[in-house]
Every structure is written in C-alpha cells, then in structure tokens.
Chains A and B, each alone.
Chain A
C-alpha cells in the first residue's frame, strides 16, 4: 500500500504571498475610500499596491520567532550586567551623560515611531505594506522596551535618568527631537514613510545608531552595546524597507517625484538638525572616542548618501536642498552645540565639563580647519574661568528656531563668527529661524508651525511652572521654578561634572571594586 506523500512545504515566496496579500479582503459593508481615507490626500498616486515587496519577505510568524530569540539573549546579558555591577566598567562617569542624552532624547522617539508605523500600517491599502509597517511598529516598541530595561540599571545609581516621560514633554532641549517626531506623526502616511523610513532610517540612521553603539562599546557599556546589537538586525531591515519604499513610490507615478523630493528636502534637513545632538555626544561626551563627528558625517552622509542620491538620480531625484549647508556644518555643529550646553549647563539634566588638554589636542587634529581658530579659544577661556571659581552658567534664555527649536547657536555658512538668523512675517506675526532651510520648511506649511510649542516662549508666557507656584512672591526665582517644573533634582542632575554626585559616587564605588 502506498503512503500518500504530504504536500511540500510552502516556499518563501508563496508563504509571503499568503501571509501578506492573502490576509486582505475587499470591503463590502463600506466603500474602500471610507475604509482608507488617508492614502490619497497627499497627492501620491499608487496604481498597483502589489508592486510593494518586502525584500526580506518576512511574515509575522517568522518575525515572532526571530525576535523572541533575540530577546532571550538580550535579557540574559542585561541580567548579568546588573548582577555584576557592569556600570562600574564604563571608562569614566562622564560617559553617563551620553547615555542620559540617549535616554532622554532618543528613546522616546522610538515610542513616537511606534505610533507612526501603527497608523501607517492601518491606513495604507496594500496588505504587504501594512504588514511591513506593523512589524516595524512592533520593532520600535521592542527597542523602546529594551532600552528602558537596559538603561534602568543606571537609574539605580546615577542622576538624570529618573523622569524621562515627564521631561520629554517639558524640557527645552528635548523639544528638538519631540517636535521632529510630532511633525512626522502628524504628517500623512506617505510623508511619514519618507520622513522616517527613508530620510531617517536610510539616510541618517548610521549617524545616530552607530555612534551611540560603538561609543558604548568603546566605553565599556555592555548593556547599551547589547541592546544595540539586538536592534541592529531590525535597523538593517528598516533601512532596506526605506529604500524599497521610496523606489516603490517613485516607480508608481511620475507625479510622485516632486512630492517625494519636497519631503526629502524637508526631512533630511530636520534630521540633520536633530543629529547635532549626536555630534556633540561623539566629540565631547565619550571619554574614549570612536571617530569625530566630521569623520562620521563624511563616511555615512557624504560617501554613502552621495552614492544613494546618484542612484536615485535615474528617478529624477536630486540630493536634498540643504545638502551643501549640512556638509559645511560638519566642521562646526558639534562644537557649537557643546558650547551651548556648557553655557546653559545649569538647565540641562546631564553634566557638562571642560575637555582635558589631550582631548583638546584630539579635536585640533580632527578639525584642523576650524577648531583652533574658532572653538579651542572659547573652551580654554571657559575652562580658565571655571578654574578661577567662576564657572559660567548662562541664565538668560536663548532665541529658538520656530522649526527645529534649537537655540540660534549655528553660524552662517562660510562665516563661523556670524550667528545665522532668519525671520518670516506670516499673517502679521513674526517667526524666527536658524537657517534658510528651517525658514523654507515653515513657508511650505505655516499653519503647522505657527503651533510650535517653543519652550523659551512658553516659559515667558507663564506655562512652565508648577501649579502651586506664585510668580508674584518676592523671592520668586523663575529659572529655579522652571527647573522644578522639569522635575530636576537641582544640583544633582544639572550643572558641572567636576564635583558632581555622579562623579563622586562612581569614583567611590569603582574604588571599592578594585581596591581593598
């Protein structure tokens, strides 16, 4: 008697078709337009959603298996890190400021991207694109969670990690990534895809993730390295998705090209501004440095990005408008942002300090054209003042850009001692910007940016004090009241690193670990 052979297992292609398009259906209770109200109004024309292919052909069942495996490994390392006092193996307590910046300013963005992809996954009508967006939403949620679990170990010992969610919605410098994320979240689903999948995940992510994760590896932070590794395969999938997404849009209809180009111009510039925070981290906050911000920009933006835009030229896409100005900024922005945070160090929930001579020499070597002329004298001047007991803390609030929300610390292209300032009058109201490109982004969507919640302006409007504060009291100190509203532990979270509680505790605990 012959046994009947069971049917062969499905191949990857068939399986992908069943687990994406096979899950869709034609709505009958409601017209399709009513079910998918958001995928037309941006002007993007899609003629054939079936042309969307996830290059990994990943389906949900396989996805759970891979991610579960990665999580098991990660949590074993996190546990070992906690049990073995891994936090004492970092190079220097100054490194903690880099992790604070990541935790305060980058991790919450992951959470925003969860929301954005969940929404895009709901509103695209192609099934395969919806499945891909759903998986990315779950990825980003996992990243937020793994970062939370990894970094929470530092919160047991050090300052500035304690109020992430509270600070995100209030603190002045966090409004930079927050407004970036909210701008993307409130865009249409296609713009969101170009903003995050393409402009951020594809063009710029290597300038965010690689510096932080290799910075962690260089500085003995096994916890961060491990969540970085765990996220890395997700990130490469997101990058591939980003490039596939843009090619799909460009191939579907020639009318999509100028729309996509406008989004690339906007989101490249917005992303490059957010990355100024990473530049400062790389050049100043890592006790053991990986490479300079300038070198990272040259490799990941100029070389890789340059090749990408040469490739996209056949679709009629040119490099983003702000490209030349962003490249010119590679010699300046990390220094300008660090000096800004140093001077406003009383109002930041991480520590700032003066670089050592050896670190200044490293910066001189990495920035031969600009550092000795424009930045070293400022850093040395401020260090000398501190040595004389006159640590500079600026107490007067800075002018903010309406678009990127960064204080106007950047200089004119080609003129490093001239602060760059632009303004636009829209419906009798004046708006201030840091650059031509931020001004242009406003000009394209003024109705959106008239709503910008600019922390400095909100403070002056009286919206940044705790409810029980009396601004008319004779001893009212507005700056202190604002920092209390931010939920800072004053004198512990903020200010100079030298003499800080973090510095002292780290030295004491490490001393106990290596000496009798």
Chain B
C-alpha cells in the first residue's frame, strides 16, 4: 500500500547509509538476556572486524550483566536477521556481509541469564 495524498508524495529515506559518514548502523541483541533493556544500535566502519566490534562496543555495553564475563565468543552462535549465521569473527563486517541496519543476535545457550530465567 502507499500513502493517500493529493499530490506526488515521495521522500528520500532519512537513514540511508550515505548519511552515516562511511559507517553502517548495526543492531546487536544478546538473546534471552533482557536485563540488557534493549538491543544496541551502533555505527561501525564496515572495515572493522566483528571481533573488534564485539571487544570495543559490545563487551563494555553488557559488562554489568553477571553472565557477560562467562561468554566464550568463539562458541557463540549467531543469527542475522533471524536466520542462522556463521560469521568469521576475524573478518571485517563487510566480508561477513553485515549490511546497514542488520540485526545481529548472539546466542549463548549455556548462559541462561539472571536466575536462569532468560533475564
């Protein structure tokens, strides 16, 4: 469907990748750990490795969660846009085909959150 309007109604998307100064916006969610109140949206250089993104951005942002230090990033399973995904942590975001506004979910089945309740 499209908007009902009297005249032409067309606008450029406000969040096109060209507006992010060479970065892409990437969303990270730690599955079943809702003590982290919401997923993160971070602007990252596509040349950065996924491991760098994790170390520099994600680890400090989830550090207050008691499960955070127990994560073994080499055994974490991933979903990208809700589909199973096997990235190479030491390759760049671009090489891992991470796109603008993708939703990356990291799953740590052995860590069950606060009280073992997915929190």
Contacts and interface: CB of A to CB of B under 8 A. Distances in A.
Contacts of A456: 41
Nearest to B33: A417
Nearest to B114: A377
A448 B13 CA distance: 10
Interface stretch (A139-147, A210-218, A396-404): A396-404
B103 to A, nearest CB: 6
Contact of A460 (B4, B23, B66): B23
A423 interface: yes
Q: Is the interface of B mostly helix, strand, loop or mixed?
A: loop
B39 A447 contact: no
Interface string B100-119: 11110000000001110111
Nearest to B16: A429
A421 to B, nearest CB: 6
Q: Is the interface of A mostly helix, strand, loop or mixed?
A: mixed
Interface in B1-23: 1-6, 9-16, 19-21, 23
Interface stretch (A36-44, A61-69, A99-107, A313-321): A36-44
Contacts of A400: 41
Most chain A CB inside 10 Å of its own CB: which residue of B14, B21, B37, B57:
B37
Interface stretch (B24-32, B69-77, B87-95): B24-32
B43 interface: yes
Contacts of A419: 29, 34, 38-39
Contacts of B27: 399, 421, 432
A454 B19 CA distance: 13
B40 interface: yes
B47 interface: no
Given A396-B57, A409-B38, A460-B23, A421 B29 contact: yes
Interface residues of B, number: 51
Contacts of A444: 1
Contacts of B61: 394-396
B1 A443 contact: yes
Most chain A CB inside 10 Å of its own CB: which residue of B15, B16, B113, B119:
B15
B112 to A, nearest CB: 9
B34 to A, nearest CB: 5
B18 to A, nearest CB: 10
A41 B15 contact: no
A501 to B, nearest CB: 26
B23 A343 contact: no
A377 B34 contact: no
7 contacts: A42-B4, A374-B119, A395-B61, A399-B40, A431-B101, A450-B14, A451-B13
Interface of A: 37-38, 41-43, 188, 336, 339-340, 342-344, 373-374, 377-378, 381, 385, 390, 392, 394-400, 407-409, 411, 416-419, 421, 423, 427, 429-432, 443-448, 450-454, 456-457, 460-462
